[in-house]
Amino acid sequence: MEIRGPVLLPARREDVELRTLDELTLVGELALPEAREPVATLVTLHPLPTAGGFMDSHILRKAAGRLPALADLAVLRFNTRGTSSPRGTSEGTFDGGRAEAFDVAAAMDFVRERGLPRPWLVGWSFGTELALKYGRDHEIEGVILLSPPLHRATDEEVAAWAGDRRRVVVVVPEFDDYLRPDEARERFAAVPDAMLIAVDGGKHLWVGETQSRRVLTEIVAAVNPDALPLPTQWAD
């Protein structure tokens, strides 16, 4: 079987609920390797909900569908406050990235309570803003930023990562709608240790199997490089 599109490889999948400090319930899913313990954990933060982003946005769905089996990773996806998906609707109302600090904290509380290893925040678009603004408040190994627009994260919040022991990996598509590689290099220059990866031909939404595989490869390269190269075929 070719690994592409919405394929779901074997995993232990569990519907979960996260509880925030302001007493909201967020809906999500945890995917774990089928027969082994995970070597690391991806805590995913989805694109802008007012523009159609949710826990099933395709890169995050593919990460949960493939990486537990291909790279021994746990993948936590959830809807931030007020966001709906087939899994359900999280309580609360979208707050433009402010009260969503509680949502990130709830996810990290869940990771700690479940004893999930080596957490990384993986943000896409709006999710990168949450990772940059609030990731330093939590015990993580690093942040992976996919198509960061840097609309809500200020220059000061970006610069605060300078000298931090946690890794910053920035994956920027060549033809991004908001922040292209040259500008991204300027905006992240305040973080000398950040790894900026420019993806030729990429666009903000990473449409197409070639772009999906590239993004998933960069995630695994940061978190569990021993699992590379990612297979493109799966034997049932």
What does the pLDDT look like over 147-203, one tens digit per residue?
999 999 999 999 999 999 999 999 999 999 999 999 999 999 999 999 999 999 999
In this structure, what token pair is assigned to residue 192? 């000398």
- Element holding 66 (H helix, E strand): helix 58-71
Q: What are the C-alpha distances in Å from 48 to residues 79, 129, 152?
A: 11, 10, 11
- Cis omega (within 30 of 0) for bond into 6: no
Domain definitions of the chain by residue range: 12-223
In this structure, what token pair is assigned to residue 100? 């969503």
Neighbours of 192 (CB within 10 A): 8
Do 180 and 150 meet the contact criterion of CB atoms below 8 Å apart? no
Nearest by Cα to 125 from 51, 18, 220, 223:
51
Neighbours of 112 (CB within 10 A): 12
pLDDT of residue 150: 97
What are the strands, taking DSSP E only, across the chain? 12-19, 25-32, 40-45, 73-78, 84-85, 88-89, 119-124, 142-146, 167-173, 195-199
Distance CA 199, CA 214 (A): 8
Parallel, antiparallel or unpaired: strands 142-146 and 167-173: parallel
- Local confidence band at 98 (pLDDT 50, 70, 90 cut-offs): very high
Q: What is the pTM of this model?
A: 0.98
Distance CA 69, CA 164 (A): 31
For the domain 12-223, what is the CATH code? 3.40.50.1820
pLDDT of residue 49: 98
- Local confidence band at 236 (pLDDT 50, 70, 90 cut-offs): confident
Parallel, antiparallel or unpaired: strands 25-32 and 12-19: antiparallel
Mean pLDDT of 76-88: 98
| 199 Ramachandran zone, left/alpha/beta (phi>0; psi -120 to 50) | beta
- Per DSSP, helices labelled H in 72-225 are 100-114, 126-134, 155-159, 181-187, 209-223
**pLDDT per residue as tens digits for the range 5-53:** 999 999 999 999 999 999 999 999 999 999 999 999 999 999 999 999 9
pLDDT at 222 over 90: yes
